[in-house]
């Protein structure tokens, strides 16, 4: 059967398109942890190419085919993204762009009883291959506890505290040098009023309650502390870092929010 | 033009359909407050009829037409819903069902400085007209503060606290007797560790922080307190009440939750 | 350290609580497929107990502990849920309730080129242990194609078509007899204007486009067809079946929707 | 009472903060239409300032106070945003940033029967005041119909079609010169396979079904057409335009997507 390929024709209006492709494709994956384990997850893929002004359409079915082939043989990491982008650019042409979101899980032990905890976090990997040059970035969105320094200071007792969602996005200078998001999560937790736990026995809950009161943090404090720690640990290794902290204020129906950007020299 | 009406034909498989209609239709509305004011909002409508086994399809376009005509002349309240359902049953036939969700806003003043606050809440109206009998129910989903009694008891200082989302759904015995959701919101707030505020000056924040410590409430405590207050105030007036409290625990990545059902005698 | 246990005290207002526990706890899991494979996923757990009027609070930390212990040794299926509920009732007391949501993936081949496709679907498992009696129900939420019979009939060419989200919830009479959701998904797809595919070559796309035009289905048609097929295949095996079809109408900003309930004799 | 103001102190780590403030504050508003009417809506506000490295915290309560005061006296438009930002910078200092999202509604008549339709759309206003210079941008997110040219070309009859969500973001060169989003919506609809309607009689549905078949559009076609139309109508008036089209493919579980950026000379 000879089916006409309208995608290959000239478009009516000749504009370059920055990105065209597929969005919100879900697939089961395994993700590699820092200590070499594979953990199950479900990834949501966006995959695009650039399209020149002289071609009407891209070939959408190939995107899913390439993603699907890849996930059978490997785990999701920056090498996976690079080889996916190289295949996209080779088979479809143009620059290529990938964004992959997935829930991830870290382990920790409770502060007093030492019970094992499995804590969810959200990770995003972003990659691009532009004129043959590969860039890679990742984002960690992690939940911590925040306790308000102002509320503590002005009140005779207690202080309002709440969940804070901290997001750190890093574009490393060298896309091939791994920055583990486990390490970024450690920094986030150390710059908060305390980590959250899934299991806390009563002696742990006492510890966590008092610990948070001893470590009050504004959203401003959290983003500055993370900026400082990242500067200490990764100086010279990043192109760009964006740090956000959004607090689900227990005393308000709206959120408090801060954002701080670091630019590498 | 004479277009065949496939909806009127016999279906292939003859089953009665419980509900068929439209979902997620958004329209601008005005809502009537307890003190007689109209406030702007945006309502999301679901509207259904039952369909007998001998008719293939309902007439979808009429649903939106009837909703749209109604909202031009009135405000959203239980009378609006009744007249909408009566029109639906008259023009389309069968039993009819409506669900309308909209953000609503209450006013309150801060506890010390007396500043005016406008606080969002979520309201749902549900109505049905079954064999000519009108039933009406409404739901209020309101944010309050909760402070953990266990954390307070076991810790030398501080207690974890967080936003709690309290939902109260009421089916009154008499669908024509108004139970104001402003009154239900007052009960919800009085059964929490304190209301949330959009604006709090520092003397207010001090008050709210200390007040919540003096009023620690488990999710179990909140649903029982609301059950008690509703029993006190509306005894004999309800067919069914469902009370839920979901707490966005500041120390956990998951939520604590309780549900309590009251059945009218 | 001897910490007072406020949960064990008497509540201020003595009401039984229907359900109390934890919500929205996420964990990595493996799910068993009909053909014996394990596939990775991420599950969201809600787990509750009933609480008598003479006890103030339940012990929240145990819920997560029991979930976490279980997922290390097994896969998510109805036996997993039963043993989880039995442990909950044994260790915490009262009736127990579980709801587990997870993305699931089915395989299929394209109609002409025979390419392998991995298609996402959403599954929910619900279980309860009430006075020692175990009940189990599951829900499948699956995306299919729908093409409007009225639009086809009245138009000289073309017909509006769109994604439809079909949900089938089944409570089997015998909670220990497995009804595979792969089989339910097959029924859903056979009662639609066609399945959706992640990868379609052009000869496949031609097939799918023409196939949907040859199989126009209202939301009313879909829920009745599924009711018929379930009646044929599972007569006498279910207590209750709820079938819903919601169509993201390509010609409207709102959705069309139908719901049909079957009650087992 | 003399309460210590910890916000005014020096921070531990001296980093400038790009944006700090409040997020997700909801308030009832009226919005001005092109033809001078006010329509009710509910707006979600984000409001931030920049914070210098020598101050620990900003004063969060003032943000809500300024928003709340403003909405009582005016309607949401670009002048509202400018005066809000000027007040923020005057009272809190630093640069200021606002983002306001709200549902909006346009009127249209059906193509054959001429019935009035009220169609929802989503609008975002963004403003900033940086070193005294005001910039303004807005975004319209509008639902249209899309019909696949490839599916039409290769199939003997029918073509897959679906809802497409088109987003156009415009930063005008002159923030004081109004570009009405009604005009942008007209362009979006004229560059699609047809507008969506809330109410369609059968003769209208026939028209719309055939019209979409006569106007097949890839996501690539839609963004290029809009780029062309905006260039024709607003040449020299914009700094930056971003055009996106995301199609909820009726044959796939994932979406097709294209993005095109125009930069003003």
- With a cut of 70, which residues of chain D have pLDDT below it? 1, 72-74
Helix (H, G, I), strand (E, B) or coil at A124: strand
Inter-chain contact D6–A150, Cβ cutoff 8 Å? yes
pLDDT, one tens digit for every residue, chain B (265 residues): 577 888 889 999 999 999 999 999 999 998 888 888 888 999 999 999 999 999 999 988 899 999 988 776 567 887 889 999 999 999 998 999 999 999 999 999 999 999 999 999 999 999 999 999 999 999 999 999 999 999 999 999 999 999 999 999 999 999 988 899 899 999 999 999 999 999 999 999 999 999 999 999 999 999 999 999 999 999 999 999 999 999 999 999 999 999 999 999 7
**Closest Cβ–Cβ partner in C154, C160, C209 for D202:** C154
Q: Residue C93 — pLDDT band, cuts 50, 70, 90?
A: confident
**Backbone phi, psi, residue C199, to 5°:** -125, 125
Provide the token pair at D26: 């909801």
Instruction: Tell whether B249 is within 8 A of chain A (Cβ).
Output: yes
Mean of the pLDDT values across residues C216-236?
Answer: 97
Q: How far is A201 from chain D (nearest CA, A)?
A: 33
The pLDDT of residue D261 is: 98
**Closest Cβ–Cβ partner in A159, A200, A252 for B209:** A159
The pLDDT of residue D37 is: 87
Q: Residue C161 — pLDDT band, cuts 50, 70, 90?
A: very high
Q: How far is B195 from chain C (nearest CA, A)?
A: 20
Span A222-237, pLDDT tens digits? 999 999 999 999 999 9
C-alpha D81: how far from chain center: 14
Provide the token pair at B145: 């503060």
Span B56-107, pLDDT tens digits? 999 888 999 999 887 765 678 878 899 999 999 999 989 999 999 999 999 9
**Closest Cβ–Cβ partner in A1, A3, A61 for C200:** A61
Provide DSSP, A95-153. -EEEEEEEEEEEEEE-TTT--EEEEEEEEEEEEEEETTEEEEEEEEEEEEEEE-HHHHH
Q: How far is C187 from chain A (nearest CA, A)?
A: 22
The pLDDT of residue D163 is: 98
Q: What is the mean pLDDT of chain C?
A: 94
Mean of the pLDDT values across residues C66-80?
Answer: 78
Residue pairs between chains A and C whose CB atoms are closer than 8 Å:
78
C-alpha B209: how far from chain center: 28
The conformation of residue B75, written as its DSSP 8-state character, comes to: -
Instruction: Tell whether D256 is within 8 A of chain B (Cβ).
Output: no
**Closest Cβ–Cβ partner in D27, D117, D120 for B26:** D120
Phi-psi region of B184 (alpha: psi -120 to 50; beta: other; left: phi over 0): alpha
Kindly give the interhelix angle for A78-92 and A60-73, rounded to the nearest 10 degrees. 150
Kindly give the interhelix angle for D78-92 and D60-73, rounded to the nearest 10 degrees. 150
The pLDDT of residue A74 is: 63
The 3-state secondary structure of B195-215 reads: ECCCCCCHHHHHHHHHHHHHC
User: CA separation (Å) from B258 to B22, B223, C180?
Assistant: 32, 7, 32
Residue of B nearest to C51 (CA): B220
Is it the case that residue A19 has pLDDT exceeding 70?
yes
């Amino acid at each position: 059967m000879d089916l006409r390929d309208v995608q290959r024709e000239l478009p009516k209006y000749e504009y370059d398109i920055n990105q065209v492709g597929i969005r919100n494709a879900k697939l089961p994956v395994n993700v590699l942890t820092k200590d070499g384990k594979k953990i199950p997850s479900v990834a949501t893929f966006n995959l695009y190419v650039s399209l020149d002004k002289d071609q009407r359409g891209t070939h959408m079915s190939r995107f899913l085919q390439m993603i699907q082939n890849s996930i059978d043989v490997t785990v999701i990491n920056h090498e996976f993204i690079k080889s996916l982008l190289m295949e996209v650019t080779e088979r479809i042409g143009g620059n290529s762009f990938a964004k992959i979101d997935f829930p991830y899980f870290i382990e920790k032990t409770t502060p007093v009883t030492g019970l094992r905890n499995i804590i969810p976090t959200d990770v995003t990997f972003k990659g691009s291959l532009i004129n043959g040059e590969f860039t890679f970035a990742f984002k960690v969105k992690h939940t911590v506890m925040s306790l308000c320094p102002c509320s503590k200071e002005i009140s005779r007792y207690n202080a309002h505290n709440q969940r804070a969602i901290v997001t750190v996005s890093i574009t490393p200078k060298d896309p091939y040098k791994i920055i583990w998001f486990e390490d970024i999560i450690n920094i986030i937790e150390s710059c908060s009023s305390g980590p959250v736990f899934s299991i806390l026995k009563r002696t742990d809950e006492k510890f966590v309650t008092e610990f948070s009161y001893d470590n009050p943090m504004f959203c401003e404090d959290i983003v500055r502390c993370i900026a400082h720690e990242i500067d200490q640990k990764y100086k010279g290794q990043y192109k760009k870092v964006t740090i956000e902290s959004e607090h689900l204020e227990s005393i308000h129906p709206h959120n408090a929010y801060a954002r701080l950007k670091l630019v590498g020299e």
